[in-house]
Structure 1
Amino acid sequence: MPSPDEALTVRTAAVRLTGVSLTYGTRGGGPFRRRGEQVEALRDLDLDVGPGEFVTIVGPSGCGKSTLLRLVGGFAFPSTGRIAVSGSTVNGPGPDRGVVFQQPRLFPWLNVRRNVEFGLRMGGMPAPRRRERAMELLDLVGLADAAARRPYELSGGMQQRAAIARALAPDPAILLMDEPFAALDALTRERLQEEIRRIWRATGKTVLFVTHGVDEAVYLGTRVIVLSRRPGRIVLDHPSGLPFAADPRTDPAFPALRETIATAVRRSASGPAPDPAPDPRTDSEVT
Structure 2
Amino acid sequence: MSARSWLVTSALTLAAVTLVGCAQPGPEASVTPVAEPGHWSYDGASGPASWAELDSGFETCAVGSRQSPIDLPAAMPAASRSIRLSATNADGDVFDSGHAVEFESDGEGETLTLAGDEYHLQQMHAHVPSEHTVNGRPAAAELHLVHATADGALLVLGVLVAEGQASDALAPFIEAATHPADEGDVTMDVSAVLPSSLEHFEYSGSLTTPPCTEDVQWVVMSTPISMSPGQIGTLVGAHSHNARPTQPLGDRVVSGGTTELGVEGQGASAEVD
For the aligned pair, the TM-score class normalised by the smaller chain equals under 0.3
TM-score by length of 1: 0.24
TM-score by length of 2: 0.25
User: Which structure shows the higher helix fraction?
Assistant: 1
User: Which structure shows the higher strand fraction?
Assistant: 2
Q: Which has the higher contact order (CA 8 A, sep 6+)?
A: 2
